A = this chain, B = another copy of it.
Amino acid sequence: MEDIAREAGVSRALVSIAMRDAHGVSATTREHILEVARRLGYRHNRVAADLAGRGAGAIGVFVADLHNDLYADVFDGIREVLDAAGRRIVLTVGAADGSRDTAGLDGLLEARVGASIGLGVRLSDAELHDRAPLGPLVLTTREVPGLLSAASDDVAGARLATEHLLALGHCRVTFLANPPGDGYLGRRRGYEAAMTEAGLDPHVQVTSYDTAEVRRCARDLLAGERRPTAVLAHNDRAAVAVLGALADLGLRCPEDVSVVGYDGAEAAALPGIELTTVDSRAAEVGRQAARIALAQVDHEAEAPEPAPITPRLITRRTTAAPTGA
């Protein structure tokens, strides 16, 4: 930077201003400075800038699992908003089993981000509360009392899916639930509410996040007596595993069993799968999370009380009226 200032015949401070696109420098000299910087092969040192700049800085994003397409959608929404706001993103990646949640979130803190957004965080409500003093964290697709979050209305979405099945004439609808624990409970609640209101008994089968295990579990369920005529899965990955279980048993979908997923991930639309699912509006969730995070770093008095994100049902191949008895 020293060199650039000398070469461009301006002050060190002016170069700094030009690099940051701040005002206080005329457009022509700015261009000149950037030109000299380019010629000298100068590359702005973000590390030093962040340290000196008192870390107004970046927004951290923790992605629990790179294999989950849904998070990619959320990330797209986050980036859209953060790009527009001119904010940098610091990204850390976790593991599908949640074992890296703490390390990933800590990594963001050590990078001195102004606020973090967590996709797929599996820490318990209590652990999350313990971490609250460490800095603002916006959770997505999950609500924890007293903490920030951006989520689409899972209760409404699951209700939508359940009512779709009931309207088709299904009575024995099983909900294939994610492992219990804090968070990610809305879908189950929506299903139970819709069933109860229809005067039917909810039937919840708890399963795993591991698809191979979901497939085994679904196979047991579907091979048992009083087989459900429809299965609503807690997410698309699980629903696809149910499709696999049906194939294993030689059962047809939707003729023998209807299947509904949840999320609207890319894979759900694939030819050969064409899953009826609930679009959870992941990109919008991301946008909202980013706006909340921005409000935190900008110390806005009141967080933007965000508009509710309403999921929508996407009807595809895997649901139909139940046949026979």
User: SS class of chain A's interface: helix, strand, loop or mixed?
Assistant: helix
Write out the residue numbers on chain B whose beta carbons fall within 8 Å of the beta carbon of A65.
Answer: 72
CB-based contact A243/B272 at 8 Å = yes
A87 within 8 A of B: no
A51 within 8 A of B: yes
Within the complex, the shortest CB–CB distance from A290 to chain B, in Å, comes to 14
Q: Given A91-B92, A91-B93, does the pair A110, B72 have CB atoms closer than 8 Å?
A: no
The residue that A270 contacts in the complex, of B66, B76, B267, with Cβ under 8 A, is: B267
* Stretch of A3-11, A40-48, A177-185 contacting B (4+ beta carbons < 8 Å): A40-48
Write out the residue numbers on chain B whose beta carbons fall within 8 Å of the beta carbon of A47.
Answer: 47, 50-51, 55, 111-112
Q: Is the interface on chain A under 10, 10 to 19, 20 to 34, or 35 or more residues?
A: 35 or more
The complex places the Cα of A273 from the Cα of B275 at a distance, in Å, of 13
Write out the residue numbers on chain B whose beta carbons fall within 8 Å of the beta carbon of A44.
Answer: 110
Write out the residue numbers on chain B whose beta carbons fall within 8 Å of the beta carbon of A273.
Answer: 270-273
CB-based contact A93/B79 at 8 Å = yes
Interface residues of A in 103-143 (CB under 8 A from B): 106-107, 109-112, 133-134
A175 within 8 A of B: no
Write out the residue numbers on chain B whose beta carbons fall within 8 Å of the beta carbon of A73.
Answer: 67
Q: Given A55-B47, A240-B270, A266-B67, does the pair A41, B133 have CB atoms closer than 8 Å?
A: yes
Write out the residue numbers on chain B whose beta carbons fall within 8 Å of the beta carbon of A240.
Answer: 270-272
| Closest B residue by C-beta to A48 | B51
The complex places the Cα of A63 from the Cα of B72 at a distance, in Å, of 12
CB-based contact B69/A67 at 8 Å = yes
Write out the residue numbers on chain B whose beta carbons fall within 8 Å of the beta carbon of A71.
Answer: 66
A85 within 8 A of B: no
The complex places the Cα of A89 from the Cα of B50 at a distance, in Å, of 18
Within the complex, the shortest CB–CB distance from A57 to chain B, in Å, comes to 9
| Closest B residue by C-beta to A103 | B83
The complex places the Cα of A154 from the Cα of B172 at a distance, in Å, of 50
Interface residues of A in 248-301 (CB under 8 A from B): 266-267, 270-273
A75 within 8 A of B: yes
Write out the residue numbers on chain B whose beta carbons fall within 8 Å of the beta carbon of A55.
Answer: 47
The residue that A247 contacts in the complex, of B88, B107, B133, B272, with Cβ under 8 A, is: B272
The complex places the Cα of A167 from the Cα of B166 at a distance, in Å, of 50
Write out the residue numbers on chain B whose beta carbons fall within 8 Å of the beta carbon of A48.
Answer: 51
CB-based contact A111/B46 at 8 Å = yes
Known: A65-B72, A66-B72, A272-B273. 15 other contacts (CB 8 A): A41-B133, A43-B134, A45-B51, A46-B111, A47-B47, A47-B112, A66-B75, A67-B73, A89-B93, A91-B91, A247-B271, A270-B270, A270-B273, A272-B272, A273-B273
Q: Which 5 A-B pairs have the closest CB atoms?
A: A244-B271, A272-B272, A66-B72, A46-B110, A91-B91
Instruction: Jot down 8 A-B pairs with beta carbons below 8 A, ordered by A.
Output: A46-B112, A47-B47, A47-B55, A63-B66, A66-B76, A67-B73, A272-B272, A273-B273
